[in-house]
């Protein structure tokens, strides 16, 4: 049971108000204990689902549909622009990895298919380092910075050959 369900429960809300009126502070640990004392009837769970959760899920689904439509129309969505560097790094990383996996050819100036695959994988791994969700917003280390710089230089050098 989450806090939102407890707030909807009137008897729980009364306990919190009584504690506030008596100038007693309710620590966060005690909120769960207060909530466990109250049994919510089955029909309140159903009411809460239709009143709060279902509309939220519908709103999230609509947002997801809208974002996909925007990406299809423009190539990016409004929400992608909020963190555009991460969005582009993810697109470049995933795209070059996929290109290395399914590649049916290579530029004429590259001698072997394995060389081309290695170049694409270096680009992919270098740009994957910029994924803030995986690294937790930590700055790149010196080694990672060097790896990203190499990937960026390879991207600049081979940009016009990123086709299949």
SS3 sequence, 67-129?
HHHHHHHHCCCHHHHCCHHHHHHHHHHHHHHHHHHHCCCCCCCCCCHHHHHHHHHHHHHHHHC
Domain with 144 in it: 83-161
pLDDT beyond 50 at 1 = no
Is residue 66 located within the same domain as residue 95? Answer: no
Element (H, E) at 147: helix 142-158
Tell me: the pLDDT tens digits for 88-112? 999 999 999 999 999 888 888 998 9
| In contact, 129 and 148? CB cutoff 8 Å | yes
3-state helix, strand, coil in the chain (%, to 5): 75, 0, 25
Higher pLDDT, 45 or 152: 152
* pLDDT tier for residue 24 given thresholds of 50, 70 and 90: low
Among 16, 41, 72, which residue terminates a domain? Answer: 72
- Ranked by mean pLDDT, which of 4-8, 26-30, 124-128 comes out on top? 124-128
Q: What's the mean pLDDT in 140-159?
A: 94
Is residue 39 located within the same domain as residue 17? Answer: yes
């Amino acid at each position: 049971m989450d806090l939102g369900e407890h707030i909807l429960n009137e008897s729980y809300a009364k306990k919190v108000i009584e504690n506030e009126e008596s100038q007693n502070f309710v620590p966060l640990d005690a909120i769960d204990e207060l909530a466990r004392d109250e049994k919510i009837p089955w029909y309140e769970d159903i009411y809460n689902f239709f009143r709060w959760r279902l509309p939220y899920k519908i709103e999230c689904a609509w947002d997801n549909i809208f974002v996909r439509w925007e990406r299809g129309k423009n190539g990016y969505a409004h929400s992608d622009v909020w963190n555009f560097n991460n969005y582009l790094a993810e697109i470049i990383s995933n795209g070059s990895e996929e290109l290395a996996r399914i590649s049916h050819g290579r530029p004429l100036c590259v001698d072997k298919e394995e060389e081309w695959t290695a170049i694409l994988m270096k680009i992919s791994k270098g740009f994957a380092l910029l994924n803030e969700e995986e690294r937790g917003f930590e700055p790149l280390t010196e080694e990672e910075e060097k790896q990203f710089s190499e990937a960026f230089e390879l991207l600049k050098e081979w940009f016009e050959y990123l086709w299949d």
